[in-house]
Structure 1
Amino acid sequence: MLPTIVILGRPNVGKSSLFNRLVGRKIAIVDNTPGVTRDRKEAEGRVAGRDVRLLDTAGLEEAAPETIQGRMRASSEAALREADLALFVVDARSGLTPADRAFATWLRRQSVPVILVANKTEGRFGGQAAFEAYELGLGDPVAVSAEHGDGMGELHDAIREHLPAEDEDDKEDPDRPLRLAIIGRPNAGKSTLLNALLGQERMITGPEPGLTRDSVAVEWRDETGALVRLVDTAGLRKKARIEQALEKMSAAASIAALKECEVAILVLDALLGMEEQELRLARLAEREGRAVVIALNKWDAVEDRPGTRRRLDDVLTASLAQLRGIPVVPLSAQTGRGVEKLMPAVREAYGHWNRRIPTGELNRWFEAMLTRHPPPLSEGRRIKLRYATMPKARPPTVVVFGTRAEQLPEDYRRYLVNGFREAFAMPGVPIRLQLRGTTNPYAESDT
């Protein structure tokens, strides 16, 4: 029996869009009209590296049992009873409603584990809109945009943690493979690099761009003997150039591989440098919460090596600050020179990405940061930051609590993120900073 995941929520929060996104194809009809989904839909898909059964349900509504809405709710409740995991979806853009709160209270009484999904968080401040969902008491919300695909990597990670083990004996399997994706533009040398890592001609290579049409998974052991599941992806081009159906499928497979991986190797052609296509890929990896290592390929053909590195560093500093300190490994996949340095860099990046900081150590750093630069005023009132926790790694996530913490300006948030990265030596991995305001009804005014 496949693990069963049920998607629940009130009407028009984006359940069917999320269902289609997780299944990987359009099955459920999506429309802005509430109540389009009346009968639950079922499909199999691959989520978090596992084959699962997904159930899309009608919107949860308070209604009499004999009405259509009442029968729709009964069908959703029946789906929950046969599920191993529930995804409770709320609309972060429109905010919480009394119905959301009522159904969250009901879900807390059920025996099925629940992941809270804050949907429609696209845009610059979309993630901040998700914080209101904390008050539902269902744990940390996972911010996603089902329509645009944002945040799906973190949702896959959350689902992976809640699914029942495939084999009870494998719960703490020390030989679980590190999931690695090789990404980059066509003809950057991705397949040649895979062959160099494996020590065999596993992939067809050549000077023609786009030889690899699909993502190909290979399991192998690196020089330490550790297992690696490596996915070589078809190159991603600018959207305007993705015309043929095959290439559209290749681009989708590349993005899916990125969502499934833990570390991404971004292959750059050292003769071309880092252009907008590579930056877009790196930002997608960061948005999905993946650690990134740059493989600077064709290094043997570069004449001005200091100048090439300087130009790359300038681009990374100016355009990829959210992955500050990203490791760069110059190599030649064709000759094999420098390839031996790549997997140690990947392992180190994975270690940073997977690291949890103890609360005591975290708050000593936090207090030092506040002492060095106290938070600024917001609309003439003080922002009081009280303490920080790190609820999860993969990627490292810091939650800061305080009065009006959510009003913290962007430059101070960057100060905290950069300080955290430097203090705990986490170069090249995304760092999530979440802010939660606290109120005390008995406290006097802070002004």
Structure 2
Amino acid sequence: MAGTVAIVGRPNVGKSTLFNRLVGKKLALVDDRPGVTRDRREGEARLGDLTFNIVDTAGLEEADEASLAGRMRAQTEAAIADADVILFVVDVRAGLTPTDRAFADVVRRSGKPVVLLANKAEGGKGIEGAYEAFGLGLGDPVPISAEHGEGLGELYDALEALLPREPEEDEDEVEEVEEADRPVRVAIVGRPNAGKSTLVNRMLGEERLLTGPEAGITRDTISLDWDWRGRRVKLFDTAGMRKRARVEDKLEKLSVADGLRAVRFADVVVVLLDATIPFEKQDLTIVDLVEREGRALVIGLNKWDLVADRPGLLKELKEEASRLLAQVKGVPVVPLSGLAGEGIDVLMKAVFAAHDVWNRRVSTAQLNRWLGDMLASHPPPAVAGRRIKIRYMTQVKARPPHFAIFGNQLQELPRSYTRYLVNGLREAFDLPGVPIRLSLRTGKNPYEKGSRQ
């Protein structure tokens, strides 16, 4: 991609709306209230034939460095320092404010190329308001409407002159490389204040995400590229998930929905528990969600540095996981401390091991030899005097492992027997901690009424 472009400006001028417009997806949360965006959010933007990295930032505000607003401002200043081009956005409907003027000076002092965007300039009144932006001394304002997609041609012209051009690559070669070297997508989820952002910062080795004692700091799901021992990883930091009954605020609902979307598109999900209060009901609910979505799973016991009697407690919690999480029996349970940086290598080894299991395939010959032994040791029960007959099975797909059993009257097979088969599959083919899907497929009876054409 040709360079990095950061979108900056005071709160509620339409930065996230512009970000979503340029990436072509509703990635960033958007709401009428100011201060929705807190962390830097990155995406791949396309504008005409330009492709570049775009960064959405928190609104610039004057605040004490130790406060949440001050930490948000530090994140925005870091984005400015890393950018090749800055898009400084003002709201022409509201007019210029002292905050706009103060932060125009911040942007000017950065020495980076700046494109001044006069947003919400749809209609005659908006165009008139755009002229006021000349007073910021950042050059000619580009009137746009991020919400309606107006003025993007002028924005293209401005960026084309500032961004470096990259040589074109053969599309077939790019697709082959991407498929072979696709990063493993790892979503970090859990209850609020479990330490998800602190853990991700420690993994990256920098204060990339906002952290603090306040619960619920993270709102957007933030995706970050990382390299662990030569293996590419795309990390997703998500907002804390509270019980549904407690989620009343519209913005929190959007944040949780964003986190659920990250789970659906992840390969491996790390459910982060607070080791001082593990296996709360909400933790179990989150694990159920991951299992239903068919993702590989790892349990992380965070804040392990605050725990006494570590060996005894770890044994107890592993036994509890086996009892409470029967649907993902054998799931790895990893003690760690995001704050102290302990256990991260062990966690990542467990993540890649779970990813391998999630992708595992078993040959049909192996499955049917195993099935024969299972049926011989414990045949299916008879229903209403009729014997259930299981003929053979095969693996339909991986990610997660999905098996199909073929036979007669399988719709009458008791759930206890399908559990017997699933547990046998886990043990025989070393499939711990991943969801296992089992489809029952009954052949048509040629003598059944309506089956003959």
TM-score (norm 1): 0.60
Q: Per-residue displacement from partner, 1:68-119 (whole Å, max 9, x unpaired)?
A: xxxxxxxxxxxxxxxxxxxxxxxxxxxxxxxxxxxxxxxxxxxxxxxxxxxx
State the secondary structure of the residue aligned to 2:180: coil
Which position in structure 2 is the counterpart of 1:392?
A: 397
For the residues of structure 1 that align with 2:251 and 2:444, how far apart are their CA atoms? 54
Separation (CA, whole Å) in 1 of partners of 2:45 and 2:403 = 28
**Partner of residue 187, structure 2:** 181
CA distance in 2 between counterparts of 1:363 and 1:167 reads: 42
Determine the structure 2 residue equivalent to 1:131: none
3-state secondary structure, aligned to 1:235: coil
- Alignment pair present for 1:332 and 2:337: yes
For residues 21-70 of structure 1, the C-alpha deviation after alignment (integer angstroms, 9 at most, x for no partner) is xx989xxxxxxxxxxxxxxxxxxxxxxx999xxxxxxxxxxxxxxxxxxx
Unaligned runs of 5+ in 1: 1-22, 26-48, 52-165
Aligned counterparts, 1:99-138, within 5 A: none
* Alpha-carbon distance between aligned partners in 2 of 1:404 and 1:334, rounded to the nearest angstrom: 55
Match of 1:29 in 2: none
1:282: which partner in 2?
287
> 2:26, 2:364 → 1: CA distance?
38
Is it true that 1:271 corresponds to 2:276 in the alignment? yes
Question: Does residue 1:251 correspond to 2:261, yes or no?
Answer: no
Report the AA paired with residue 168 of structure 1. Answer: D
CA deviations on 1:322-342 (whole Å, 9 max, x unpaired) are: 100000110111111111111
Specify the SS of the correspondent of 1:387.
strand
In the TM superposition, what whole-angstrom CA distance separates every residue of 1:228-286 from its partner, at most 9, and x where no partner exists?
A: 11100000011222122221111111111111101000101000011111111100000
Q: In the alignment, is the contact (CA less than 8 A) between 2:318 and 2:333 conserved in 1? A: no
* Alignment correspondent of 1:297: 302
Match of 1:227 among 207, 229, 232: 232
Select the residue among 202, 207, 214 that pairs with 2:208. Answer: 202
Contact residue 192 and residue 216 of structure 2 kept, 8 A: yes
Identity of aligned residues (%): 52
SS at structure 1 position matched to 2:257: helix
Aligned partner of 1:368 in structure 2 is 373
1:309 aligns with 2:317: no
Query: CA 1:171–1:404 in structure 2 vs 1: closer, same or farther (change >3 Å)?
Result: farther
Distance 1:381 1:219 in 2: 57
Out of 155, 168, 172, which is 2:172 matched to?
A: 168
> Offset at 1:201?
1.2
Q: Is the 8 A contact 1:273 1:308 kept in 2?
A: no
Q: 1:183 to 1:367 in 2, by over 3 A?
A: same
Higher-Rg structure is 2
Write the distance in 2 (CA, Å) between the matches of 1:321 and 1:378: 27
Distance, in Å, in 1 between the alignment partners of 2:286 and 2:242 is 10
User: Who is 2:224 aligned against?
Assistant: 218
**Which residue number corresponds to residue 95 of structure 1?**
none
Inter-partner Cα distance in structure 2 for 1:275 and 1:50: 40
CA–CA distance in structure 2, aligned partners of residues 379 and 305 of structure 1? 53
- What one-letter code is carried by the residue in structure 2 that aligns with 1:305? R
8 A Cα contact 1:270 1:308, kept in partner: no
> How far is 1:311 from its partner?
4.2
Give 1:227 shift.
1.0
Picking from 259, 267, 271, the partner of 1:262 is 267
User: CA–CA distance in 2 between the matches of 1:320 and 1:338?
Assistant: 22
Aligned residues: 283
What whole-Å deviation, never above 9, does each CA across 1:260-315 have from its counterpart, x for those lacking one? Answer: 10100010100001111111110000000001001111111111324433443343
Cross-structure match for 1:90? none
SS of residue paired to 2:273: strand
Is the Cα–Cα contact under 8 Å of residues 187 and 209 in structure 1 kept in the other structure? yes
Q: Residues of 1 paired with 2:318 and 2:295: CA distance?
A: 20
The match for 2:355 is: 350
Q: Which amino acid aligns with 1:355?
A: R
With normalisation by structure 2, the TM-score equals 0.60
Instruction: Give SS of 1:221's match.
Output: strand
**How much does 1:441 deviate?**
3.7
